[in-house]
Structure 1
């Protein structure tokens, strides 16, 4: 048997610290428990693109990667708590969230995203990152609504 066949199913979940992403993380952990899988929690970060593509001077002082890692750790702690029922691997990657998640999801069993994150319009039913992932992922995508969000009008 190959390593791919022997490996536990991998569920990739996008986490940006928003309530929908924490709900997606919680769902992914529960699903991994049901199928004997592992969760790969992924956070993407980018330098701000203000100033016509130039990074503002204060960006050199602020550690965006470290802040993204802290956001990921806090989201896992809040969504799952200290008792981890499955293995949760973390990745903090520089790049656009949709591209980072699509790359991470190659060969995965599932990709799980919240229905919307911190960016964009709060009224949107599905955020741009989630929509891009649904349209372009190489594996099935599950979109999870945040707590208290209803599907009706």
Structure 2
């Protein structure tokens, strides 16, 4: 993976994950955590590495450690803050699967585009579903639906269980 995690003219797409890897999207939701657990279980069975992708924007990213009122943080500082939050959030599950290699990939870009690009060469893409449904789902389109339609690799959409219902 490269260190530049934004889509721009010099880096139009993030580097795809390795062909043996399982890519999983994680936005911090219960559904994403359930999908991450499923990805880790599959990775343990297949001896595959996992690449966790979180798309972020200035509005959704945690404030960087250096942030203070009046200070404008750099994209690198936001990327570091997102990565640190991912590591902290997923720590418990990662520890349960200590033999699985995990890489964290925060990307400053739309979620579906990021997941589709990074999973291009992967063994599988795993995503959760929030089930927007109805009119909102038709207007916005869901990330999981876009991934199913456009990903080059197989996509596993992990639906909520009663314990993870949202």
Does structure 1 residue 20 correspond to structure 2 residue 34?
no
Q: 1:136 to 1:149 in 2, by over 3 A?
A: farther
Would you say the 8 A contact 1:39–1:89 is kept in 2? yes
Tell me what 1:75 maps to: 89
Specify which of 28, 38, 54 is matched with residue 43 of structure 1.
54
CA distance in 1, matches of 2:160, 2:72: 33
Give the superposed CA RMSD: 3.3
How many correspondences in the alignment?
133
TM-score, with structure 2 as normaliser: 0.66
Equivalent residue of 2:58, what SS?
coil
CA distance in 2, matches of 1:147, 1:61: 39
Gaps of at least 5 residues in structure 1 are: 1-6, 49-56
Tell me what 2:145 maps to: 131
Gaps of at least 5 residues in structure 2 are: 1-17, 60-68
